[in-house]
A and B are shown apart, each in its own frame.
Chain A
Amino acid sequence: MADNTTKIRTFIFDNFLFDAEEDALENDTSFLEQGIIDSTGVLELVDWLEEEFAISVADEELVPENLDSVNLLSAYITRKTS
């Protein structure tokens, strides 16, 4: 879980926050509300999830409840890979 969190944070910083300070993102910050990930960014995130964790994200799983913060993502990955 902790490992996933680090991976997720690295991905978000590299791809969406670019050169922001570490404290720019709490693990429960909403990506959508803070404008961190826009609607095309969601698709990029899904591509990464599928490749990095060898999972398949179903259409009905494409909801903010699964993907909209570091913590939500981490929990979702745990559910999918356990």
Chain B
Amino acid sequence: MCGIAGYYQFNNRQSNDRRTLERMIYPVMHRGPDGFGFFIGQTVGLAHARLSIVDLEGGWQPIANEDRTIWIIFNGEIFNYPELREGLLARGHTFSTHSDTEVILHLYEEKGKDCLADLNGQFAIAIYDSNKQSLFLARDRMGIRPLFYTLHNGSFYFASEIKSLFNADPALPREIDPRVLSEIFTFWSPAGTETVFTGVKQLLPGHCLEVTSTGVHEPLCYWSIPFCPDEPGRRSEQEYAAELRELLIDSVRLRLRADVPVGAYLSGGLDSSAITSLVKHYTKNPLKTFSVTFADKVYDEAKEQNEMVDYLGTDHHQVACSYQDIAAVFPQVIWHTETPILRTAPAPLFLLSKLVRRNQYKVVLTGEGADEVLGGYDIFKEAKVRAFIHAQPDSDLRPQLLKRLYPYLAMSPTKSAEYARRFFATDADVSDLFYGHRPRWKTAAGTHVFLTDHVLAQDRDPVQGLGYLQNDLQGLDFFNRAQYLECKVLMANYLLSSQGDRMAMANSVEGRFPFLDHRVVEFAGRIPTHYKMKALNEKNVLKQAVADILPTGTVKRKKQPYMAPDILSFFGEAEPDYLDYYLSESLLTEAGMFKPKAVDKLLGKCRQKSKQGFKENMAFVGILSSQIVYDKMIKNFKIDTPESLDNVKVVS
């Protein structure tokens, strides 16, 4: 795991290239604290910050091919690299290291961009081909590892994090894009390629991009989540469950490959318990597990975690998290997310990765992705109930099902069935491509009352931002559509980034996600909808696949989504001092995103009563995080890059 950065210069500018690369790589040193490497070519510069996990001695980057015409930097892991390496050796390639990085390089030599189909992993890759004077960038299928880019003054810059781009050239504009801001205040994340900063783009998951002397080419999609209409042929649930189990065992085995010990997060829920139990039953990996506990019992799952620890006998470590703990790290968390967020949920994960690192672990397996690909979320259940009510609109009994949906929430939206019926728009058209997500987006968009007229004037229908997904959604049923959207938008742009990569890497920890092995995802896409969620039993096939290696309670318990206290974190105990600055009228006015008077009223409401509704919670966390982004990434953005970097290996 690592950080990468680099540039492509279109005008053959002869400036201080080495210093540019140093300025770019230094801000992501947390991603790779074990050392730096640089390559400077005619038009391209590459920089790498290394976290040593595979081939500890030899795996320094950049790495070149046999005749030193092709150079690579890489952030991530290729889990099937030993098998790929064998094939390459047999076909006559010579290796200078034992790393997975070099495997990509030789595969690229052979196959060009088609090499991506062979890779099982999580990655952001940059390859410079001096013969063609081209730069090739690629990102893993699900979006586990980040890759951002921008164009400025005749140079194309790319990096694992946006702060590297901003530090490349102080003249590079740093501005909030109001259209993306309103997307975030609707979807909880940007919709697609754009980031909250004007002109800064992300390479989408499953895409690659080529830069040549003629310019930046259109990104190409090399893989998309293959949700199919129900697979033809008759297979039983048990057959699907058995195949899923085999795939998961293999996925876990591959993800334990490392030259350092691998631990696991244990939330107490089904997914992380399943992964941990598979490790226990099918590998010899010593089990060290990590979890967060919450002082607020509404969010705490310590009892469930301890039940699993007792069952599996793991060496378990916990970090306790109070309201104040979340508030204390929140500004630092936003420095790492580099984007506004509407939930505080990443903060406890920041504390958790710190715990992992304190225990000298660098790699953890987690259960991320199971809910999306195997049908676990309440939003899917909600869509199913709404469609069920829609089919018989005169039924008095069907709306009662809505009451069963969200019992774990302190302020349940379904206390009044009639309201729930109206709120969940049960008369909506089920064939709408975004059917499952409309109620969630409508609730989130309630936060727009705080946006300034300037932001709202540039607002657009959220669907426009998601237009690039429309073709993929055609032909799917509403359940698969909701899953697809959840994978492409919330999982890729929030869960795997703000809550995943950024929180783990902030403490130099690498997350690995067995449920997001593309073979598992492709298989899950073929499971018939009525098996994935049987009646209202979520992740039915997964439960069957792992029932015999988990305590009954873990399999049968109602799913508790991972959440952290939002407004409560800032007002439940003591109010953090920084609120006065970030939410001051002057900074709000200067940033121009939110109406100062409206924010003042919201603050008053929070101070009066820290228990608030959905809209207030999302608005408060969203406004505060946006203001922090403005302050740290725009107004006071400053990274003092040392005159000389330590532990540097220069290769060129």
A residues apposed to B, CB below 8 Å: 14-20, 32, 35-36, 38-44, 59, 62-64
Query: In the complex, which residues of chain B have a beta carbon less than 8 angstroms from the beta carbon of A32?
Result: 419, 422-423
Q: Are B602 and A64 in contact (CB under 8 A)?
A: no
Q: Are A38 and B598 in contact (CB under 8 A)?
A: no
Q: Are B416 and A38 in contact (CB under 8 A)?
A: no
Which chain A residue lies CB-closest to B443? A38
B587 to nearest A CB, angstroms?
Answer: 17
A36 to nearest B CB, angstroms?
Answer: 8
Q: Are A42 and B419 in contact (CB under 8 A)?
A: yes
Q: Are A39 and B595 in contact (CB under 8 A)?
A: no
Complex: A63 Cα to B416 Cα, angstroms: 7
Query: In the complex, which residues of chain B have a beta carbon less than 8 angstroms from the beta carbon of A35?
Result: 442-443, 445-446
Complex: A63 Cα to B605 Cα, angstroms: 25
* Known contacts A19-B595, A20-B449, A62-B415; A39 and B601 CB within 8 A of each other: no
Query: In the complex, which residues of chain A have a beta carbon less than 8 angstroms from the beta carbon of B428?
Result: none
* Known contacts A39-B414, A40-B614, A41-B613; A18 and B450 CB within 8 A of each other: yes
Q: Are B613 and A19 in contact (CB under 8 A)?
A: no
Known A14-B605, A18-B601; 16 more pairs at CB < 8 Å: A17-B449, A19-B595, A19-B597, A20-B598, A35-B446, A36-B446, A38-B446, A39-B413, A39-B419, A40-B411, A40-B413, A40-B613, A40-B615, A42-B413, A44-B613, A62-B416
Which chain A residue lies CB-closest to B414? A39
Query: In the complex, which residues of chain B have a beta carbon less than 8 angstroms from the beta carbon of A40?
Result: 411, 413, 612-615
Query: In the complex, which residues of chain A have a beta carbon less than 8 angstroms from the beta carbon of B443?
Result: 35, 38-39
Q: Are B422 and A19 in contact (CB under 8 A)?
A: no
Q: Which of B419, B442, B612, B613 contacts A64 (CB 8 A)?
A: B419
Complex: A36 Cα to B446 Cα, angstroms: 7
Residue from the set A14, A18, A62 with the largest chain B CB neighbour count within 10 Å: A18
Query: In the complex, which residues of chain A have a beta carbon less than 8 angstroms from the beta carbon of B420?
Result: 39
B360 to nearest A CB, angstroms?
Answer: 43
Query: In the complex, which residues of chain A have a beta carbon less than 8 angstroms from the beta carbon of B599?
Result: 18
Query: In the complex, which residues of chain B have a beta carbon less than 8 angstroms from the beta carbon of A63?
Result: 416, 418-419
In the complex, the number of residue pairs spanning A and B with C-beta atoms less than 8 Å apart equals 70
Q: Are A64 and B595 in contact (CB under 8 A)?
A: no
Where chain A touches its partner, the secondary structure class is helix
**Pairs of residues from A and B, 4 with the lowest C-beta to C-beta distance, nearest first:** A39-B413, A40-B613, A19-B598, A18-B598
Complex: A64 Cα to B416 Cα, angstroms: 10
B566 to nearest A CB, angstroms?
Answer: 12
B residues apposed to A, CB below 8 Å: 411, 413-416, 418-420, 422-423, 442-443, 445-446, 449-450, 595, 597-599, 601-602, 605, 612-615
Complex: A19 Cα to B413 Cα, angstroms: 25
A46 to nearest B CB, angstroms?
Answer: 9
A65 to nearest B CB, angstroms?
Answer: 8
Query: In the complex, which residues of chain A have a beta carbon less than 8 angstroms from the beta carbon of B449?
Result: 16-20
Jot down 28 A-B pairs with beta carbons below 8 A, ordered by A. Answer: A14-B601, A15-B605, A16-B449, A16-B615, A17-B449, A18-B597, A18-B599, A32-B423, A36-B446, A38-B413, A38-B446, A39-B413, A39-B419, A39-B420, A39-B423, A39-B443, A40-B413, A40-B613, A40-B614, A40-B615, A42-B416, A42-B419, A43-B415, A59-B416, A62-B418, A63-B416, A63-B418, A63-B419
Query: In the complex, which residues of chain B have a beta carbon less than 8 angstroms from the beta carbon of A38?
Result: 413, 423, 442-443, 446, 613-615
Complex: A17 Cα to B605 Cα, angstroms: 12
Complex: A19 Cα to B450 Cα, angstroms: 8
Complex: A41 Cα to B449 Cα, angstroms: 14
B74 to nearest A CB, angstroms?
Answer: 45
Q: Are B419 and A62 in contact (CB under 8 A)?
A: yes
B501 to nearest A CB, angstroms?
Answer: 31
A25 to nearest B CB, angstroms?
Answer: 11
Complex: A38 Cα to B612 Cα, angstroms: 12
Residue from the set A16, A17, A39, A42 with the largest chain B CB neighbour count within 10 Å: A39
Complex: A38 Cα to B446 Cα, angstroms: 8
Query: In the complex, which residues of chain A have a beta carbon less than 8 angstroms from the beta carbon of B419?
Result: 32, 39, 42, 62-64
Query: In the complex, which residues of chain A have a beta carbon less than 8 angstroms from the beta carbon of B445?
Result: 35
Q: Are B615 and A19 in contact (CB under 8 A)?
A: no
Complex: A65 Cα to B476 Cα, angstroms: 37
Residue from the set A17, A38, A42 with the largest chain B CB neighbour count within 10 Å: A38
B447 to nearest A CB, angstroms?
Answer: 10
Query: In the complex, which residues of chain A have a beta carbon less than 8 angstroms from the beta carbon of B601?
Result: 14, 18-19
A43 to nearest B CB, angstroms?
Answer: 6
B300 to nearest A CB, angstroms?
Answer: 21
Complex: A18 Cα to B449 Cα, angstroms: 7
Complex: A62 Cα to B422 Cα, angstroms: 12
Q: Which of B422, B423, B595, B612 contacts A18 (CB 8 A)?
A: B595
Complex: A20 Cα to B422 Cα, angstroms: 25
B469 to nearest A CB, angstroms?
Answer: 23
Complex: A43 Cα to B418 Cα, angstroms: 13
Complex: A23 Cα to B379 Cα, angstroms: 35
A26 to nearest B CB, angstroms?
Answer: 16
Query: In the complex, which residues of chain B have a beta carbon less than 8 angstroms from the beta carbon of A18?
Result: 449-450, 595, 597-599, 601-602
Query: In the complex, which residues of chain B have a beta carbon less than 8 angstroms from the beta carbon of A20?
Result: 449, 598
Query: In the complex, which residues of chain A have a beta carbon less than 8 angstroms from the beta carbon of B598?
Result: 18-20
Complex: A27 Cα to B420 Cα, angstroms: 23
B453 to nearest A CB, angstroms?
Answer: 10
Query: In the complex, which residues of chain A have a beta carbon less than 8 angstroms from the beta carbon of B422?
Result: 32, 64
